[in-house]
Amino acid sequence: MKKEQINLIVGYTVLILLIVLYQWYIMKKRANLPPEQAKGTVQVEKEIKQPVKTKTAEIPVSTIEKTDTTGAELEEFTFETQLLKVTFQNIGAEIKEVYLKPYNVYLRPKKGPLFSSSLVVKGERILLSRIPFKKEISGNSVIFTAKVDTLEIKRVYTFTDSGYTIQVENFPRSEYYLSVFIFDTDEKIPDKARYAGGVYSLAGKVYTVKTKSMEKTERKVIPGVVDWAGYKTKYFLASVIPPDYAGEVSVEKVEGYPAVSVRTDKPIKLFIGPLEYKTLAGVKKGLENAIYFGWSLIRPIAKLIYFVLTYIHRFINNYGVVIIIFTIIMAMVLSPLSLLSFRSMKGMKEIQPKIQEIQKKYKKDPQRMNAEIMELYRKHGVNPFSGCLPLFIQMPVFFALFAVLNSTIELKGAPFIFWIKDLSLKDPYFVLPILMGITMFLQQRFFSPQQPGAEQKSMTFIMPIVLTFIFSSLPSGLVLYWFVYNLLSIIQQIIIKKQAEGG
């Protein structure tokens, strides 16, 4: 088997392994509790670790503990804005569930409310979930009040007309916990549980906690400076956003229900909405990092691809066409490398007889044989590895595009043509994977340097079949990209071949 064919096989094998390992990495990444913070983070924490030490209101603990609420009736009511319909309940002044109007989806907790709170009184934590509150609506605010003996407790939720945020303020001013509970949506998404979990940001770095880990954890206080914390599904986030450097985050069970809690004594902001980059960045700097754009090396490329795709989409209202245009752009950018690859393959074909002579002459001396072959490459200016250079350059783009298609809400439910109703899901009829496999076969059959023998012929068939099988489970938008890129490469090769023959 020729050297360039071995390189090509190695390239595709690496691609297959990376696809498998990348998907395994995502599952592993989402499954584990985050490690302890690095030394740098701990040092920052030491400098600004006291944000919640303020004057705590003198609230008699006994009055709350002895309050009998067993006879209080549970009442629910809704408050609506342009984007949200929030269901409140009077017991605990809690948010039970939220309906996101633009997406026609409910964020419903599996158990308990969506958000609840508790007060910190004389060093003890007192749950408010047993206290009946009276409600009052004033403009864009929902005001809850409760009186326990001589103590008055007041909570104010303030909405914006056209946003996904809610301002929360408590009176009297006291340290308190605001907890986000595990929720689900009524969307039909394959394996959606693997994308859900607790999420929080400490000093600008985002960590995730798998739902199963939350269910097993009784209480774990995470040291560090909390930027925001909450719970997310694949496309939606419910988050607590404290003022800068004014909170502590914990993964815990509140009355037996798993939750992510933030402790503070300041007014707090809730975000309940889509994992949409522009929306998140507009609420708080760094909140957009809740979107998973792949591992650290891939993330900058994925963000760049995301911005390119969404920019093109402003002019073309079909993400399938947008991906095709993006593929054409990538083919143009990589065309110098492709040209180098084609020339290298042509050069390898021309010196193949000389390589075979060297192999016969030094078959008993492999070291001398390799040295002579390398010298032959040098004399003719041929690099055997340049043949698969475009493939290796494509890999970061491939995985970055995979992250964009798999994580961004803009591509959720984005149709392309006829049978492809969602570019973020696999092709239901496997048409694109088969077309992609055919283009790969054509590339190897007609444009790679040929060598007789059953081994070469079998590899011409095996690699396209294997990759067709793997690509059949990947997002159809990703397969569309690879298919179009293969097609463009074939056209490039035909043009270059005709130019060479004409010259």
**What is the structure's pLDDT at 5?**
45
Determine, yes or no, domain membership for 401.
Answer: yes
**What is the structure's pLDDT at 391?**
72
Claim to verify: residue 307 and residue 286 sit in the same structural domain = no
Q: pLDDT (tens digit, 9 = 90+) per residue, 413-433?
A: 999 998 999 999 999 999 999
* SS3 track for 2-50: CHHHHHHHHHHHHHHHHHHHHHHHHHHHHHCCCCCCCHHHHHHHHHCCC
Name the domain boundary from 290, 323, 345: 290
Claim to verify: residue 270 and residue 321 sit in the same structural domain = no
Claim to verify: residue 286 and residue 419 sit in the same structural domain = no
Is-contact 263 123, C-beta < 8 A? no
**What is the structure's pLDDT at 450?**
52
Neighbours of 428 (CB within 10 A): 11
Lowest mean pLDDT among 244-248, 266-270, 391-395: 244-248
Residue 434 tokens read as 């088969």
Claim to verify: residue 267 and residue 350 sit in the same structural domain = no
Q: pLDDT (tens digit, 9 = 90+) per residue, 150-195?
A: 778 899 999 998 899 999 998 888 888 999 999 998 877 877 778 8
Q: pLDDT (tens digit, 9 = 90+) per residue, 276-302?
A: 999 999 998 889 999 999 888 899 999
Q: What is the mean pLDDT of residues 85-108?
A: 95
Claim to verify: residue 284 and residue 335 sit in the same structural domain = no
Determine, yes or no, domain membership for 478.
Answer: yes
471 membership: H or E segment, kind and range: helix 454-471
| DSSP result, 478-493 | HHHHHHHHHHHHHHHH
Claim to verify: residue 102 and residue 194 sit in the same structural domain = yes
What percentage of residues in the chain have a pLDDT greater than 70?
80
Residue 10 tokens read as 């190695």
User: Which has more confidence, 467 or 9?
Assistant: 467
Task: Supply the CATH number for residue 157's domain.
Answer: 2.70.98.90
Determine, yes or no, domain membership for 219.
Answer: yes
Claim to verify: residue 369 and residue 418 sit in the same structural domain = yes
Is 438 exposed, middle or buried, given 0-12, 13-18 or 19+ CB atoms closer than 10 A? middle
Backbone angles phi, psi at 273, to 5 degrees: -175, -165
Is-contact 221 26, C-beta < 8 A? no
Residue 94 structural domain: 38-290
Alpha carbons within 13 angstroms on the beta-carbon side of residue 328 total 7
Q: pLDDT (tens digit, 9 = 90+) per residue, 22-61?
A: 444 444 444 443 434 333 333 333 333 333 343 334 444 4
Determine, yes or no, domain membership for 32.
Answer: no
In the chain, the number of structural domains is 2
**What is the structure's pLDDT at 39?**
37
What percentage of residues in the chain have a pLDDT greater than 90?
44
Lowest mean pLDDT among 183-192, 248-257, 468-477: 183-192
Determine, yes or no, domain membership for 30.
Answer: no
**What is the structure's pLDDT at 49?**
36
Is-contact 95 221, C-beta < 8 A? no
Q: What is the mean pLDDT of residues 296-313?
A: 94
In angstroms, the CA 90 to CA 140 distance is: 18
Claim to verify: residue 46 and residue 169 sit in the same structural domain = yes
Determine, yes or no, domain membership for 88.
Answer: yes
